[in-house]
Chains A and B, each alone.
Chain A
Amino acid sequence: SQTIHQWPATLVQPVGSPLSLECTVEGTSNPNLYWYRQAAGRGLQLLFYSVGIGQISSEVPQNLSASRPQDRQFILSSKKLLLSDSGFYLCAWTPRENTEAFFGQGTRLTVV
């Protein structure tokens, strides 16, 4: 069966520090991968998606970037964090034939 791993679960970082969140999927190949941010425990904002290695599409301009160095690995990064980057970050994947999305457990990022 397929599983998705996302880490760390919580992170407290100072303003101006770098960020790296990692997500890996097991038990499947060629998944579509997604990074979402959830602010204030509510709506989901799609940040990035990827349909293949090295292929990244950004949905909103921001202080963040994403990379997909391997088929089942998706990384969310920032060179310098802002206070406004605080939030709950969720990684998700869908199969190529695509129906429902499967989510990781999320990372609670607090920028102080």
Chain B
Amino acid sequence: AQSVAQPEDQVNVAEGNPLTVKCTYSVSGNPYLFWYVQYPNRGLQFLLKYITGDNLVKGSYGFEAEFNKSQTSFHLKKPSALVSDSALYFCAVRDVFSKAGSYQLTFGKGTKLSVIP
């Protein structure tokens, strides 16, 4: 079974400060890891992914994430937060070997990011 934990329901950060949204995962094999962002009443937008290779992954809108296998973490980061980054962020994991070839993603419960002007 695979699972994702996002330990913080909400993260508040001042505009211009660095931000971190935490994610830890559990899979039986090697993970594929993803971050998505959701604005109110909209679908999820893909931000970045880790499949293999460099542990530091760069994505859209200046976001990046670091894969740490020993800590089973994939925290989302941005050096300087913008008010427009305020949204709901989801971490997701897929085991390389998923049942029935369906390649299902398992999502965390989401973290609400509020960037304060």
* Chain A residues close to B by CB (< 8 Å): 6, 32, 34, 41-44, 46, 49, 51, 57, 88, 90, 92, 94, 98-106, 108
Q: Is B90 in the interface zone, CB < 8 Å from A?
A: yes
Beta-carbon contact of A108 and B107 below 8 Å: no
B105 x A32 contact (CB < 8 A):
no
**CB neighbours of A34 from chain B (8 A):** 104
Contact A94 B44 (CB under 8 A): no
Please list 13 pairs of residues, one from A and one from B, whose beta carbons are closer than 8 Å in the complex, sorted by A's number. Answer: A34-B104, A42-B110, A43-B109, A43-B110, A49-B104, A57-B100, A88-B41, A94-B105, A100-B49, A101-B34, A101-B105, A103-B44, A106-B42
Count of CB-CB pairs between chains A and B under 8 Å: 55
Q: Are B43 and A90 in contact (CB under 8 A)?
A: yes
Bitwise, B77-117 to A at CB < 8 A (1) or not (0) is: 00000000000101010100000111111011110000000
Point out the residues of chain B lying under 8 angstroms from A106, CB to CB: 41-43
- A6, A32, A44, A57 interface centre (most CB from chain B within 10 Å): A44
B30 within 8 A of A: no
Q: Does B51 contact A (CB under 8 A)?
A: yes
Chain A contacts for B108, CB-based, 8 A: 43
B101: chain A residues at CB < 8 Å are 51
Residues of A within 8 A of B88 (CB): 41-42
Of all chain A residues, the one with the shortest Cβ separation from B35 is A100
Cα of A46 to Cα of B45 in the assembled complex, Å: 17
Sorted from nearest, which 7 A-B pairs have the closest CB atoms?
A103-B43, A98-B103, A43-B109, A103-B44, A44-B107, A105-B43, A106-B43
Q: A90-B43, A101-B46 are in contact. List 8 more A-B contacts (CB 8 A).
A: A41-B40, A43-B109, A46-B104, A57-B100, A57-B102, A100-B49, A103-B44, A105-B43
Question: Given the complex, which residues of A lie within 8 Å of B46, measured CB to CB?
Answer: 100-102
Do residues A49 and B102 form an inter-chain contact, with CB atoms below 8 A? yes
- Once bound together, how far apart are the Cα atoms of A79 and B32, in whole Å? 37
Chain B neighbourhood of A90, CB < 8 A? 43-44
